[in-house]
Every structure is written in structure tokens, then in C-alpha cells.
A and B are shown apart, each in its own frame.
Chain A
Amino acid sequence: MKKRKFLYLGLLLSLCLLVLWGCGSSKKAADTADKLPTSYSQALKDAKGKTVTYYGYGGSDTQNKWLDEVVAPMMKAKGVTLKRVPMDIDTILNKLTNEKEANKTSGNMDVLWINGENFYNAKKLNLLDGPVDGKIIPNMAKYINSSDLDVKKDMNVAIDHLEVPYGNAQFVFVGSQSMFNGDYPTSAEKMLTWAKANPGKLTYVAPPDFTGSAFVRNIIYETVGYKALNDAPATKAGIYKVIKPSLDYLNELKPYLWSEGKTYPKTTAQMDKMFADHQIAMTFSYNQMYAATQKKAGVFTDDAQTFVFDKGTIGNYNYLAIPKTAPDKAAAVVLINTMLSQKAQTERLKLKYGAVVPPYSAAKMPSAMTEKINATAETDHTLTTQTLADKRLPEVSGKKIPIIESLWKEYVLNAD
């Protein structure tokens, strides 16, 4: 009998909780959505004393340190408290879509780190607020040309003033000077020739790993060209027809890879370790300064040299966006402008903050920053801003990426 009493008590308790929860959400729904400020000075005024919440991938220590040690104090000086919530983008989007399904007008995320396919989804579901452009973000007008390709399109999706770039990424190779004898494979063809002469000394991370997938796309750009892939319809049959030569190339390379291509490293960390031990001659990264940061971390030595393909490598930007349900859009605007400021971006170039290249247009980049990047190229074997800009190729639509990955799996990984 007594057991049953407890059961009732438990049920009652949960019912109370449910009712409370229901009240809480209905109250919030009654609030009207916060509006974007009309100017930056207005935003600064409204943001004072507020807390701004940043949601983004939290797996990068250097990025977290940059936000905590550089951006947070800069925000504090403007009277705004920065709260950083580490969360993966698919969880963030899930949360936002749930909010939308529940018809909530005010959530708890002010600024998101987003790009590519996730942006495409967020835009399609009408989750993001705009226009967020140079009119309310003065640093965007100051440092970024509105005609830059990466400001107009994110992985071939029109941005329409819903995103602001805040970091620049480009695929680079890091090769071992001693193993390559200073002669790096700067084209797919050279890579194949070298692999045939030195079997077992190359490998790549298996897609769908983010960077491994970019390597495969770079090989496609090399073998059939960016344009052919970009023009191909986003269907499995359409893409297969176009990238057939690339898949053939990867299959020709396969027996000369580490472990004869029977297995691949699963994470870039594994590949880096193999590279550091000289088990393989080459690794790669989406961070242009990777050779420098890894040298500083003591993983790579001066033997690690950055190079790119002569025809160029894929580059993309990291973006920030403000969700429609942001509780404090004035503070969100202040945060975005601060993250884009010369001071914050200069700090971010330091190795301890991950050495991320700013998303500034080449013509508008402050000379001090250009010099700094070029100096690193000299001492830590990365590349100059000029080389990087000259050898930069755009991303294709995010829709095509999973298709390419599944084709790779079917025709290369499981070919025999």
C-alpha cells in the first residue's frame, strides 16, 4: 500500500513539473521577438549591462581561449558579458528547429557559429535574422569588400546578409622536407608518381571526416576541375558521371597508400601522429598556419613544410549569424563587430589562439597583419597571404558533399 502512495506522490510531482514547464514556455511565447538594432551606436547603447550568449563548436581549445581571453574582456569594456556555450552545430540547429516547432519567439542563443550545409538548412527553415551587414557591423564595411565571393555565397548558397564571416580557412598540405627531398607533389599527377616510387608513404583521412572529404574534393578539382563539379546536378548519377576520372585516380593511387589502402586513418589527429613519426610523408589541414601551430605545440619540426597544389586548394570561411529567436540582438551585433575588429583578429593570428587568418579582403587587410602572416611563412614554413589568395578555390554546394562521400565509399573504399 505504502509503495503505491509513493507512486502517486511521484506522479503528482511530475505533473506539477509539467504544468510549471508549460507555464514557463507560454509566458515566453507571449513576449514579442527582439528586433535588430538600426545602427551600431544604437546597438552599443542598448547592449550595455546585458549578457550575450555565443553558441558554437567547443572542441577547439585555441578558439575557446581566444573567446575567453581576448573577446570576453573586450566585450566587458563595452559593458557586455559574454557567455560561451560549447555545442555542436547539429545540436544547435535541432534546438532552434524545436523552438520553431514550439512557436517560441525568444530562445537563448544570441550568436551562432555556422556554415555550409547547416546554413543552407537554417536559411531554408527561416531561422536566421537579417540583414546583418556593413550598415550595422562597421568592421565589416571597413575590412571586407561586399563583392568578395565568400561574402556573397557560403558553399554556393546565397548568403543574403544572413551571415558575417569571422575566420578564413583554406586547405593546405604539410609535407616532410626530408622525405620529399624538398620537391613537393604540387599536383595530383606528381602525387601519384611519387606514391608509385615510394609505396606506403602516403595516406588520407577517410571521408566523411571533414578534412579527408576536402582532400577528395581537391583531387576532383585537380582531375576534372571546379567548374565541372559545380555545374553537375546534385544527384548521385549526375555527380558520378562527372567525377568518374577522379575516382579512377584515387583507385590508381590506392595500392600505393599506407597499408595498401586497405585501411585509412579515421581522424586527422591519427594522421598527424603518423606524419610526425615519418611513417607517412604528408598530412593536411584546413588551417593555413597549421605547420606553425603544430611546431609550436612540439608535434612537428622544421621538417614540416606547407604547400598547395599549383592549381589551388579549397578555401572557405567561418561565419556568425543571429537567430530570429535571439533574446538580445543589440548585444549580438556588438559581439559580431568585436569579433571582427582588427584587435581581436590580430590576437587570433597568434599561435596560442590557433593562428586563424582573418576573413579580410586582400586589399583591405591592415599591412601589419599581412606582414605578420608573411613573417610566419618565413620562420615556420607556412605560405604568404599572396600565395594563399592566388591559390584559393571556392567550395561547391554543401548538398554535393555527402554525395561525393558516398560515391567515394562505394567506388574507392569498397571497390574490391
Chain B
Amino acid sequence: MLTKKKLILLLSPFTIFFCFVFVSAFIKSIVTSLGYYPLMGLKTLTFKYYMTALQDKTFLTTSLRTFCFALLSAGLACLGGLALALVLQRSTGPVGRFGFKLAQLPVMLPHIFVILALLQLLSQTGLVPSLLVHLGWLKGPQHFPLLVNDPLQIGIILTYLWKEIPFVIVSLMLVLRSLDRRYSAVGQNLGASKLQIFWHISLPMIQPALLNAFIINFSFNFGAYEVPYLLGNPRRELLPVYIYDFYVQGDLTQMPLIMSLNILLSLFAVLCAGAVLYLSRRLPGGHLGGLK
């Protein structure tokens, strides 16, 4: 039996190492963003890099775009995941169990796998358009709708949904399974409709888990680099790509500014997460705190 003590002991080497690396890198970013960068002879602490960043129009529009985009894709994933989890929950028996197992698969596959699959299958030179052309359903690959690097960022959204819907399903299923079904039975007995049972009984109980999943999805979508880099449209650049491009241009004098952009990105993600958590606590069912 794995006791709590043992678990802490087993996790401590990783945790210590991780905290050490992460915390020191984070502190260094903050210090650099405040203008202390002795390598380039910069030694005075100042907020001017933050001021510059907050006055940069491209940075602000890119941030807003990234925020809306992350909100939309995380929201879609949560809605889709919630619907599917409820369906799977209802179908007890082998189908439901199989569905649950199947949902765990995409959670384990890394994003880059999905990206490559999308590029190989759905880009205009991919397998699906070639197949359609061979079958005579399409005149040429250029008539296939653009699904990667497209202006609506469909490629990125597809990747996120593919990864995150199953993630929402898995985290909700664990909660749904442990729910006391007698609550719904009582509701039904008292004449509540299905919608009322869902809205007043099930939803408040799973709401903390759902919003937790939303926070994780949102933060990832807001800060992920490789997905928008490979599948994004160059005209509608997302924030992580914007910052990283800036970073690899290799102008060391810009380092404090780049680090302040980074800190702003992190700060923003943390603030959003905090706001959602606060909301979750305030909503009905919030006192359950994620249903331990």
C-alpha cells in the first residue's frame, strides 16, 4: 500500500529538482525584466520595459487575439467534453467503459503527434485531399478547404479539441462516477425535469472539476508555442510565437523587454486562472472544492 508518507518521499527528488530549476529561472526572468542585466551593462532597476511593452500596439492586439482564441478553444473543449461525459455516464456497461478507455488515449499522445497527423492528413498535400482527387470527388488539391495555417486557425482549434475534449471527459467521469445517485433520484421523485436535475443537481456537483479543467486548458492554449507555430496562420500570430520569434532574433539588448513580455504573459494566465477559481467558489457547488 502506498501511504501518504511514501508518496511524499517518492515525489520529493523530482519536486526539489523541479522547484529549484523552475523557481531560479522564474526569478531570473523577473530580475531581467526589471532591467537588471549585467551582461549588457544594465544594472538599474526600472519599470520602463513593462511600460514599453504595454504601449506596444502589436503586443496588445496579439495578446487580445490570443486571449479570445484560448477562451474560445478551451470553452469549446469543456462544452464538448461535458456533453460526451454525460452520454458516456448514461451508457453503463461495456460501451461506456470502452468509451472511457478510448478517451484516455488522446490524453497520453503528445500535441506534436496530433500536429503531424493533421499535416499529413488534412493539409492540401495530405492524404485525404489526394484520396478525394483520386476518387474523382475533387478536381485538384487546391479545391480542398485550407485547414492548416488557415485564417480561422481551424488547424489549431482541431488540435486542441482533440487533446482537450478527452481530458475533460476523463476528469469529469471520475467525478461523475463518485456522485451519489440518490440526489438525482430524490429530485426525480419530487418531480424535477431532466433539465432541472442537470442544472440544479449534477452541474453544481461537477462544476469545480469542469472549471479546473477549463483553467488547465485555457492556460495551455494561452501559452503553448509548438501548435500555433506549426499550424497557425502567419497573419494572425499568437502571443507565444510572437515572443519566441522576438527571443531568437538574438538581440541581447532586447532581453529585458522580451522577459517583461514573458512575465506579462504568465501574469495574465495566472490572473485568469484566479478569476475562474474565484468564480467557481462562488457558484453553487463551489464549497465542495473540487469534490475530494
Contact = CB atoms under 8 A, between A and B. Distances in A.
Interface of A: 2-3, 6, 9-10, 13-14, 17, 90, 93, 97, 100-101, 117-118, 121, 124-125, 200, 206, 208, 258-259, 262-267, 270, 273-274, 276-277, 279, 398-399, 401-402, 405, 409, 413-414
A264 B150 CA distance: 9
Interface in B1-53: 4-5, 8-9, 12, 15-16, 20, 38-39
A280 to B, nearest CB: 10
A121 B38 contact: no
B235 to A, nearest CB: 6
Contact of A263 (B146, B245, B248): B146
Given A118-B250, A121-B250, A14 B20 contact: yes
Interface in B89-126: 119, 123-125
A277 B125 contact: yes
B248 A90 contact: yes
Contacts of B20: 14, 17
A274 B235 contact: no
A67 to B, nearest CB: 24
A270 B123 contact: yes
Nearest to B11: A10
A281 B16 CA distance: 55
A101 B41 CA distance: 12
Contact of A13 (B4, B16, B232, B249): B16
Contact of A14 (B16, B38, B119, B250): B16
A266 B5 contact: no
Contacts of B56: none
Contact of A97 (B16, B39, B141, B230): B39
Contacts of B233: 263
Given A263-B235, A273-B125, A277-B125, A402 B249 contact: yes
Interface string B210-244: 00000000000000000001101111000000000
Interface of B: 4-5, 8-9, 12, 15-16, 20, 38-39, 119, 123-125, 130, 141-142, 146, 149-151, 229-230, 232-235, 245, 247-252
A100 B252 CA distance: 15
Given A6-B8, A121-B252, A402-B249, A266 B230 contact: yes
Contacts of B250: 90, 93, 117-118, 121, 398
Nearest first, the 10 closest Cβ-Cβ pairs linking A and B are A402-B249, A206-B234, A117-B250, A273-B125, A14-B16, A277-B125, A10-B12, A263-B149, A6-B8, A274-B125
A259 B38 contact: no
Given A14-B20, A401-B249, 9 more contacts: A3-B5, A6-B8, A90-B247, A101-B38, A117-B250, A259-B146, A263-B234, A276-B125, A402-B251
A279 B142 contact: yes
Contacts of B125: 270, 273-274, 276-277, 279
A322 to B, nearest CB: 20
A13 B123 CA distance: 52
A161 to B, nearest CB: 22
A200 B149 contact: no
A262 B123 contact: no
